[in-house]
Amino acid sequence: MKNNLLCFLGLSIIGIVSGDSCSLEISPSRVVVKFGDAVTVSCVASRPVRVLGWESVIAASHTQRDLSVQWRVDSLTDWIEEPICYGVFFTAPRQCEEKLNLVLYKKPDSVSISLVNHSSPVVVGKEYELQCEVQNVAPVQYLVLRWYRGQTEVYNQSFSELSPATPVQVSSTLLIVPNRADDGAQYRCEAQLELGAEGPRPLPTVQSEVLHLAVQYPPDFRSPEEQILDISEDSEMVLDCTAEGNPPPVYIWTSSNLQEMVDNQPVLTAASLGPGVYTCTASNILGKKSKQFLIKHKSKGV
Ligand SMILES: *[C@@H]1O[C@H](CO)[C@@H](O)[C@H](O)[C@H]1NC(C)=O
Ligand SMILES: *[C@@H]1O[C@H](CO)[C@@H](O)[C@H](O)[C@H]1NC(C)=O
């Protein structure tokens, strides 16, 4: 387009100047436009021109009278648009051009979080990959992907090394080794476009759904040590074998004194428990643990 015009004017395109000595000023010099929105940018020459114009695939324009020309689009949807303002002057430097710093952006269509090759529940102490997938975002070099556990940001990833202007799909992974405290943890990720001072506020943001992590772990007693209890006449014996575990533990009691097998009861309560050793075993699919209770006659003289 511009080259045709320059041929028509019989000028050489050698020696095009840009920068300070160019006598062209683009205003605003940087524009951030949402996909499909309108945009208007002016280019002003500070000395007499033969031609002043915009080179643009979708909205070329020029003037031979004015010192100002506008680049105007009602709905910008062209990802490869790179408008350049050019001026052809009567005096040296005879040709100038300035590129518009144009950022066309689009929020992601979706942001999704998942466990790679797995579904909840996970097992304590093993390594898992969480993946966050962002669909159709542009320009990706302004994207920041943030990972949250609850309200806390645990990791972020930028994509500034990538260069495409067109929408792309990107993903980020987070390695986790869950512990017991992670049971019930809520993970999510968030895609945010940080488009600079000229960009919109609040920042264009899309959040994933929440991933609820369920963590399985073997039974563990709050107080694992052996318990010694004295038989007393007026109070009941309470043998508390409650263990924490996921899935919830199943309990089995054994003792030479127990006539019947007591099935799946974390707490034994009875006035009639005789002296002896009672062993409780808490188990789930990940393991089992035992705890002993020793019931004694109250020693005389104490
Ligand atoms: C997930 O599974 C696919 C195929 O089953 C395999 O190619 C890929 O390497 C696995 N990824 C991870 C992180 O284990
Ligand atoms: C990403 O995380 C690092 C370390 O936690 C932090 O210093 C940095 O400011 C974060 N970057 C962004 C863009 O939030």
CATH of the domain at 161: 2.60.40.10
Q: Where residue 12 falls among pLDDT bands split at 50, 70, 90?
A: very low
d(CA 176, CA 189): 14
- Closest ligand 1 atom to Cα of 116: 13
- Closest ligand 1 atom to Cα of 129: 13
Which ligand minimizes its atom distance to the CA of 147? 2
Contacts of 19 (CB under 8 A, 6+ apart): none
Q: Global pTM?
A: 0.81
Question: pLDDT for 141-154, tens place per residue?
Answer: 999 999 999 999 99
In this structure, which residue's CA is closest to atom 1 in ligand 2? 156
Single residue among 180, 213, 246 that ends a domain in this structure: 213
In this structure, the answer to whether residues 90 and 124 fall within a common structural domain is no
Question: pLDDT for 243-299, tens place per residue?
Answer: 999 999 999 998 877 666 667 889 988 777 788 899 999 999 999 999 999 988 775
Q: Where residue 301 falls among pLDDT bands split at 50, 70, 90?
A: very low
Single residue among 84, 105, 126 that ends a domain in this structure: 105
pLDDT at 287: 96
In this structure, the answer to whether residues 203 and 248 fall within a common structural domain is no
Question: pLDDT for 200-220, tens place per residue?
Answer: 999 999 999 999 999 999 999
Q: Residues with Cβ within 6 A of ligand 2? A: 144, 156
In this structure, the answer to whether residues 119 and 205 fall within a common structural domain is yes
CB of 129 shorter than 6 A to ligand 1: yes
In this structure, the answer to whether residues 83 and 167 fall within a common structural domain is no
In this structure, which residue's CA is closest to atom 1 in ligand 1? 117
Which ligand minimizes its atom distance to the CA of 129? 1
Instruction: Indicate whether 10 pLDDT > 60.
Output: no
Average model confidence (pLDDT) across the chain? 90
Which ligand minimizes its atom distance to the CA of 190? 2
In this structure, the answer to whether residues 74 and 13 fall within a common structural domain is yes
High-pLDDT (> 70) share of the chain, %? 91
What total number of domains does the chain contain?
Answer: 3
Single residue among 59, 88, 105 that ends a domain in this structure: 105
The whole domain housing 227 covers 218-298
